[in-house]
Amino acid sequence: MNLHRQAFTDLSVTQPEPPSPLSVHTALGTRPCNGIGCASQIGIACAYVDRRGRPCPTAWCPNHRTVFEDTVYCALHGATLTGLHWDFGDSPHPDVDNRVPALVAWISRVAEDDIVATLQSICRARNEVLVRDPVRRVFLGPQRDRSWERAWKTCSAFGVATRVVIAVEEANPNLVLAKVNSKIVATLAAPAGDLAGQPPAEVVELLFRELVMPMSFALDSLQQGMPLEARAMGGGAPRWSAAETTTAAITGRYLAGTYAS
């Protein structure tokens, strides 16, 4: 009896383990990959379907696909869904050929840490809470022009106190707007780059200088009770002057993450 048990135990130990399920990152398909210069025939279709029911026509091999929530997407729509995602439900999917939401999400990822650090210091001074919204479509003016924006808000028991927005309007998809309390405080030509990847160092520096610092200056003005006014520079585009955005006192307080109440 003991020998029988020993033989059974040895046999069970030597049994091969079942293969682990194939990861969506490495799964193989049967379609040509749309990656630039890629000759692979093992692509899986992008799973994106827009609000009109139109699917993305591309397919991607393991080397070129983007995976979001265990699903294969192209780089554009992976970035789009990453920006739209939040914990309180799904947002309507933008048109399949609309790159504006992905652009807003890409720029917001770069600027978010600096924006949040600034707003958190304001929240501490005012005893408010910070709320972050995903990328959303909004309608502007009586013509209901479509714009996509990512917003960060400080809120009290009385409502929203301060709202910071990075936005791109569909009518002008190559212009990025920075807003504080609905007022445009900076504009920037949309930088080029892979919307699913990390921007190069020079783009990060550009976004900090041309978007984050003007917003920081505007928030500091609000903290000090000064009116928030956009300045016209370079063909009438609302911008803050370079001297204002690089003032030593503003920059020092911003980099230290502390604001005077």
Residues 115-131 pLDDT 10s? 999 899 889 988 999 99
Q: Quick check: 218 and 228 in contact, CB under 8 A?
A: yes
pLDDT band at 245 (very low <50, low <70, confident <90, very high): very low
pLDDT band at 20 (very low <50, low <70, confident <90, very high): low
pLDDT for res 2:
57
Tell how strand 145-156 and strand 159-169 pair up. antiparallel
DSSP class of residue 240 equals -
* Domain limits, the chain: 24-98, 100-256
Per-residue pLDDT, averaged over 33-58, amounts to 92
pLDDT for res 16:
61
Q: What is the pTM of this model?
A: 0.71
Helix axes 100-126, 213-223, angle to 10 degrees: 30
pLDDT for res 189:
92
Q: What angle do CA 29, 65, 90 make, to 5 degrees?
A: 105
| Cα 102 from Cα 98, distance rounded (Å) | 8
- pLDDT tens digits, one per residue of 135-182: 888 888 888 888 999 999 999 888 888 999 999 999 999 999 999 998
Per-residue pLDDT, averaged over 181-201, amounts to 85
Collapse the DSSP code of 251 into the 3-class scheme (helix H, G, I; strand E, B; otherwise coil) and give the result: helix
Higher pLDDT, 46 or 255: 46
Residue 225 has pLDDT above 90, yes or no: no
pLDDT for res 229:
60
| Cα 90 from Cα 68, distance rounded (Å) | 14
- pLDDT tens digits, one per residue of 84-116: 766 545 667 888 888 899 999 999 988 999 899
